[in-house]
Structure formats: structure tokens, C-alpha cells
Structure 1
Amino acid sequence: MTRKGRTRALARRAALVGTVTLLVGIGLAPAAVAAPNPTPSPPREGGKNELIDEAIERTSRAFVEAKNAVTDSRKKQDALNKEMARLEVRRAALAPQAAEIARHNYMNGRIGPALMLLNSRDENEFLDKAETLEMLSAYDNERLAELADNQRQAAAAKAQLDLETKRESAQLAVMAKQKSDVEKAFKLAGGRTVNGNAYVNQPVARQSPRASDGSFPAQSCSVDDPTTNGCITPRTLFALKETQRLGFKRFVSCHRDGGPFEHPKGRACDFSVFKTNDFGSGDAQGDARFYGNNLAAFLVKNADKLGILYVIWYRQVWLPSTGTWKSYSGAHGDPSSDHTNHVHLSLL
């Protein structure tokens, strides 16, 4: 390129720079500006081992399912005991009548009614006596049939009660095993029981829908997540709405593509403890720590109603299988991994 050509190129470049500068100055240039309210990045979560993904989820789910089965079995046992008591009252009323019928038939046999008919003065009296005997016989037969049906129902109720008792015992054994398994897992992982959050004055949530047998059936990620552009389960949505309805309205993020826990399945939410619409940049202190303590305590208190799998908050995890808070530390030692800036909730 000649000297004159280089001079013209430099002049065009200077003119272009001047034009861009002018456009930026008046706000017309397509400058790369961050969105005014960017979506906060979800907290980075992850354990030192596979304790959360395997032991906690597996044992907690099995424990809750067994506990629901025990509750359902006890309800059925209570109903069966009431039915057996009702049948016994009726049996007690029918038994003397049956005994009297038996005694009368034994004493009179077939001859008594026949003699009564033969002693009739005329045809009309004969017919009246015959009708009376027929009515008495029908009444006696009804009482005897009712007593027999009563005894069959009582036997069936007793058999069903025995089955429910065995079912309860089996599910209690499952609960004990799951509790033992998770205790062993925590011990191997270096966990220990710690002082948890109090339940004092925490509000009571409404009951999340259950199946007819009292269980929480599996649900798919089928409803829109109001906190992200993803999906969550109906049970997660119910828990989220109940939590917010009862006063915990700070920033929340539920669905997440990939990563550990139940977020990708739509069965988990992270509740920020800060007043800003993000997860903060450090460990919660003061008002934020107080908010997190209350939220964690609320979730634990209402675990049965909401179908909670586990709760993690401030280096502690609570599971229904143990009923206590256990120490928990993330892999990275930061506020998100240690859950010191948000409360993690996982649901069945």
C-alpha cells in the first residue's frame, strides 16, 4: 500500500471511531449492556461424596413410604376394631334370641306346632294359627341368619386385622432399617448429630394431596415452575405456594438442568435467605440467618404435610428417617455448597 493509500485508510478509521463515539453518546449504538435484572445463578451444590444422592434419598424415601404405610395400617386397624366392637354388640343381642329359638325347637320339636293347628276350633282359627306359625318361623330364621352373617363378618374383620397388624410390623422394621442405614452412612462420612432448629411458633401448612392409602405417589415434572423457565412437580408447587403463603417470600429458584439433588426432576427448591433477589455472596448473618433458621424449622415441622424428603441449611441436613439435624459440608467449602446462603428443600 502506498503512503497516500495508508493515509486514506487511517482517515476512514478515525471517522468510523468518531461516528461510533457519537452514537454511544446519544444512546443509539448497540452496546453490549447487561440486563437490568439478570436471573441469579443457582447456588453451586454438591457433597464430598455420594451421600446425598444415594444414602439420603434412598433411605429417606423408603422411610417415608414405610411411615405412610404404618399410618394407613393403623387407621385401618382402628376402623376394623370399631367394626368388630359393633358386631360384638349385635352378636350379644342376637345370641339370647338364638338360644331361645334352639330351646323352643328342642322342647316342642315338630309335634308342638302340629298339635296347635289340630286344636283349632274351625277353619278360620286354623288359618290364623298357620299364618302366625309361619311369621314366627320366618322371624326365627331371620335372627338365625343374621347371627350367622354377624359371625362371618366378625371372622373376616379379625383376619383383616391380623393382616394389618403384620403389615404394620413389617413397615416398622423397614423404618428401623432405613434409620440404621442412614446413621451408618453419616458416621462413615464423618457426620454427627448437632443441635437443630426449634419448632416454636412455626405455622402449620395445609396437607399436600395424598393417595387414598395415605402415600405420596411419584410425580413427574409436569407443571410450570414459577421461579424459572423449567418445570416442577405438582407436589413441589404446592410446597412452594404454602411456604410463600405462610410468610417466606424471599427469592426462590427451583428447577435446574443437570447437577445433583432433585432439581432436574422438579422436586427441589433453593430458598435464598437474603432480601435481595439473589443468593448473596457470603454466609448468612443477622436477619438472614434468623430467616433461614425459621424457614428450616417450618419445613421440618411440616415435613409430613408437605411430603419432604430432606432439608439442608447451614452445614446441617435434616431427614425424616432420623428426625434430627446432622452435620453436612459441601465439597467446595463455599456458602452455596455449605448451604449457608440458602435453604435447600427436596420433596418426594
Structure 2
Amino acid sequence: MTSTPRNAPRHGRITASLAALTALALIGLPGAAHADPDDDVDIDELNKRAEELEDTYDGELLQYTEIKDRVEAAKAELEDLDERLENSRGGVSAIAAARYKGDGFDPTLQIVFSSEPEDMFNDAATMEYLGDSQAEQISELIDLRDEQAEVTEELQEELGEASDLVEELEEQREEVEERIKEYEAEQIPETPGNGTVPDSSRGSGWEQTTPRMAAIRDEIIMKFGAPYPVSCWRPSAQDHGTGRACDFMMSANGAAPSAANKSLGQQISDYGTANADRLGIKYIIWEQQIWQSTSRQWTWMNDRGDLTQNHYDHVHISSY
């Protein structure tokens, strides 16, 4: 925005100052984010594509669901920010109206709103002129503008990550389906723990576990032991409900594991990733991170609120 010449008629200065404030109040501050977060990526379209991958993937779609939850949270935060911004702009508009009716504006205000708003707070005279209440309203508008820009950027990044993940899963789908067929065709060895796994390690759903998951479970118990019962099948829409997952508990009743058991959980997790192809491990969750056999990397999961839901007290292993 161009500044008004110092020798402009008084009426011109008043008009320019009022225009500057009106533009600020109704359009936004310099640097405000106005990008539509859905311009480049349509989350609904991504959801449909993800649903088509459900028969092939589990762990990876869990990762996608994590991203989708973050997208929805960011959208809700943006909606709240938009409402707060609108209210704050109304307050700044009131400043404009009051100043215009009272003294026709001091040119100081034009300088304030035609340059970087943050700079105004470096001028003690300007602060005194505006008064504490009005300065606070304008400061709030600046803060909300910056917060909106930050949340919008985060949302765009999350949408981009969701899009990249779906594209990657679509590209790998045939390869993964072939791998699943190979695992299904393999002769699964008898569980090596028959007769040798101690009763103290046998948790819920022990008998309903699939042969492959039982073989994985018992090999890990025989190699590392089990400080607490290992639970497997339970009613669930996820892998536990099909008998293809077990939880290797490192503590009881939601408590934090001891240092020794925390180390043991890490050893089991490392053993699983190192032997995933041989054993037919699909994914592992440990300490709020998930590892997929397809991507071969750990990724952070959303905070679910407690040690158990965030997998700090047990290692979750799912099999093909």
C-alpha cells in the first residue's frame, strides 16, 4: 500500500487513513494467510482412495488415519481462528470509526497500518496515542493473523503427506499383494513354543491366535522371555480380532515399564524389524511409533492420551 504524501490536504489524509484501517479490519493484516487449504488436495477424495486399499494394507492405513485425524484437528482449529479473527477485526473497525468521528485520525495511524503492524509497538508515542485497550485489540489481531498462517501451513503439509502416502501405497499395491500370496502359500512351521513356553507368559486369546502369529509369538518368548502375560486375540476390528496380533507387555495396569523392561521392549522391537521378512511380520508399534514392513521406517503416531494406548507399556506385533 502506498503512503500518503506529507503535503496532502487534510481531507485526503483522513480518507487514506480510514481506508487503511478499513482494509485492515475487513481484509486482514499484511502477511495474513488466505490460501484455501483444500486448493491442492481434497481430503474426501483421498479417503475414498484409502478405502480402496483396505483389503491390502493395515498398518499403512493406520498411519493414514493418523494423518487424517491431524488434518481434521487443524481444520477445526482454523474454523475457530476464523471466528476469532472476525471478532477481532470488528474491534479494530470500532477503533477506526471512533478515531474518525472523534478527530479525523492522526497520520500516525496511517503509518501504523500501511507498514508492518509489528513495528508500531516499537514506538512508545504510538502506544500512548492508541491507549492500552486499543493497542491490545490490534496486538490480538496480529497474533491471530500469525497463528492462522502457521496452522494453514501445517494443514497444507499434513494434506501433502497424506497425498504422498496414498500415492505410494497405490504404487506398491500389486507388490504387496504378491507378497501376501507368498506368505499364504508358505507352509507355516508349527509353533516352536509347544510344550516349552511357560504358563506365566500365556495371556488372553492364546488359543485363537493364527499359526503364523503363534510362531512369531513363541519364538520371541523363547528368545527374550515374557515379564508379563502376552495377550493376543480379543474382540476387535483390527488384527487382534483376527488372531493376527499379540501384545508383549512390559508392565501391568498401565504403569510405566522399568528401565530393564523398557530395554527388553526395544530388543523385541528390534528383533521384529530385523526378522520381519522371515517371520511374516506386517507391522510393529512401540513407544508411539509404527514400523511397516513395506516402508521399512518408523513414523510417529498421534497422542492417544495414556501409556497403554500410546504403546509405551507393550510392543504390538501384527503378522500377515
- Using structure 2 for the length normalisation, give the TM-score: 0.40
Quick one: higher RCO (CA 8 Å, sep 6+), 1 or 2? 1
Structure label with greater radius of gyration: 1
